[in-house]
Structure 1
Amino acid sequence: MLPLRKKKPLPLTSPSQDEATRSAGTLHAIMERSCLWYIRNLNFFPQLTEAQQMDLAASSKMIPSKRGHKLNVATTAGGNAYLIKEGHVRLLRAAEGREVAVDLLGPGDVLGLTPILTEDSDADHAEVLDDVLFCRVPARILRELLEATPGLALHFSKQQGLRRKTIELRLIDIAFCTVKVRIARLLAELAKKFGEDHPKGRKIGLKLTQREIAEMVGSNREAANRATLGLVDAGAIEFEGKNIVIVNSDKLA
């Protein structure tokens, strides 16, 4: 009978270390793949060829950002554009002595595009509202794509035109409308842009604090809270945790 061979002992590594290593490797692989996946599936650049999309993904970098983080749009965006893959950010601008959120951006939107197109800026800075995943694209790469693809330049110019119109209307509302009207219009806009089907109507898929709502309509928190509760009493909206559900959109008009 042949002698039994002794098995070599396995290296002593802790399961938690192995799991951490595997998790880190998986996360890295996901991050590497997701740039191209998001560029394709969120339709950031519908006019680009497959080869252009792959080149863009190779030149981009995934950047996670936590709630409350601020980007200086005027300086930062001049060197990079940020494709919003997950989460939401708001554009902030000083108006009438206070900071006003002039627009909200979500998945599929591009932050920092205006300085690249016009050497101007939509806002003073942007603030992350919930955990965001950006795809950072160097401005040089984006300019080259715009020059090589006239249809893409037209597409983004139209987007920027609509965004500027939204900002202008928001500032007009702040100057001439009551807080209740401003909040009603804001909620109608958010339901249209970020709304989700709900048994009672449309749920705004974005959690906002009273302070954030107040800043988005150029008011203080107390006045915004009173106006919001007035819309609840009128049967226009309901709260579901920190989310707002539009139960009667006609009462927001």
Structure 2
Amino acid sequence: MDETLARAGIFQGVEPTAAEALAQTLEPVEFPRGHVIFAEGEPGDRLYIIQSGKVKIGRKSPDGRENLLNIAGPADMFGELSIFDPGPRTSTATTVTEVRAVSMDRPALRQWISTRPEIAEQLLRVLARRLRRTNSMVADLIFTDVPGRVAKALLQLAQRFGSQEAGLLRVTHDLTQEEIAQFVGASRETVNKALADFAHRGWLRLEGKSVLILDPERLARRAR
């Protein structure tokens, strides 16, 4: 099985032969940058697992503002809610970069769940982790100021997309500052001000759609 797929939540704790058999039923798909994989309100019956690239998951508020709920990357799964709760999609999935992924529809997954209960258990764990993350985001919106939310978002992105570079941590997030603002629930101007302040303090260096974190400890203290 592909190494990235093997790290996906749906396969964790599943017997290797069963995981391999399930992987064989997945349909490979590719999307260009900026492609809408599915839109809020559309009917959905398919989940996706990313092999390479990034996808932003967001939804629009009643006044038309877009809020980002998650940035999904390699080994992340999205769209699985439609498997368990048929109905309109509750969010929009748009590629941030070129994306390679695999997908599975509801009938195929239900067939596997009926014979392999451990797969359903793994999916429940994935959903539980996502619910915890959502609860944390709501708490941050209530209790944490914008600079703190920006610092926390950068550190979270670093955990998932960071790489060591000459002893420093580079975070290639591939997001515009507007998208970072949507991710932390703030205006672009406020986020720009926070990033400029962090750079002035020597905590990080902004380089296009990536950030070089120079002082993760101070950034972590600001995120608390």
**TM-score bracket for this pair, using the shorter chain length:** 0.7 to 0.9
Name the CA distance, whole Å, in 2 between partners of 1:226 and 1:175.
20
Alpha-carbon distance change, 123 to 169 in structure 1, aligned in 2, over 3 angstroms:
farther
Separation in 1 of the partners of 2:19 and 2:147? 47
| Range that drifts further, 47-56 or 138-147 | 47-56
Tell me the equivalent position of 1:82. Answer: 48
Task: String of CA shifts for 1:118-138, please: whole Å, max 9, x gaps.
Answer: 558894211211111121211
- Measure the CA separation in 2 of the matches of 1:166 and 1:122: 19
Residue 2 of structure 2 is aligned with which of 37, 52, 72?
37
Structure 1, residues 188-237: CA drift from partner, whole Å, max 9, x if none?
11111222122242211322211111111112222211111111112221
Q: 1:96 to 1:228 in 2, by over 3 A?
A: farther
CA separation in 2, counterparts of 1:45 and 1:61? Answer: 16
Partner of 2:29: 63
Distance change >3 Å, CA 246–CA 52, structure 1 → 2: closer
Give unmatched runs, 5+ long, in structure 1. 1-35
The SS at the match of 1:108 is: coil
Specify the code of the residue in structure 2 equivalent to 1:112.
Answer: G
More strand by share: 2
Larger Rg: 1
1:56 deviates by: 4.1
- Whether contact under 8 Å (1:38, 1:85) holds in the other structure is no
Q: Secondary structure at the match of 1:172?
A: helix
CA contact (8 A) 2:11 2:19 kept: no
**Counterpart secondary structure, 2:83:** helix
In structure 2, distance between residues paired with 1:246 and 1:74: 38
Q: Which residue of the partner structure matches residue 249 of structure 1?
A: 216
State the 1:51 CA deviation: 5.7
The Cα of 1:251 is off from its aligned counterpart by 1.6
* Paired residues of 1:73 and 1:112 also in contact (CA < 8 A): no
Answering whether residue 155 of structure 2 is matched by residue 188 of structure 1, we say yes
Letter in 2 for 1:140: P
Contact 2:40 2:59 in 1 (8 A): no
Distance 2:62 2:154 in 1: 22
Residue 158 of structure 1 is matched in structure 2 by: 125
Q: 2:113 aligns with which of 141, 146, 150?
A: 146
| Whole-Å separation in 1 of the counterparts to 2:90 and 2:108 | 23
Residue 56 of structure 2 contacts residue 72 of structure 2 at CA under 8 Å; is this kept in 1?
yes
Map 1:184-223 → 2, pairs under 5 A: 184-223=151-190
CA RMSD of aligned residues (A): 2.5
- Superimposed CA distance per residue, residues 148-169 of structure 1 (whole angstroms, 9 cap, x where no aligned partner): 2222221221111111221222
Verify the 8 A CA contact 1:114 1:120 in the aligned structure 2.
no
What is the SS of the residue equivalent to 2:97?
coil
> 3-state DSSP class of the match of 2:42?
helix
Say which structure, 1 or 2, has more relative contact order (CA 8 Å, 6+ apart).
2
Contact 1:61/1:135, CA 8 A, preserved across alignment:
yes
Tell me the percent identity: 25
2:205 corresponds to which letter in structure 1?
E
Q: Distance in 2 between matches of 1:239 and 1:108?
A: 27
- Give TM-score, length-normalised by structure 2: 0.84
CA contact under 8 A between 1:65 and 1:132: conserved in structure 2?
Answer: yes
CA distance, structure 2, for counterparts of residue 201 and residue 120 of structure 1: 45
AA aligned to 1:234 is: R
Shift of 1:171: 2.9
How big is each residue's C-alpha offset from its partner over 1:51-103, in whole Å with a ceiling of 9 and x where there is no partner?
6624542x332211122212226535x31111111111121023584211111
The farther-off stretch of 108-117 and 45-54 is: 45-54
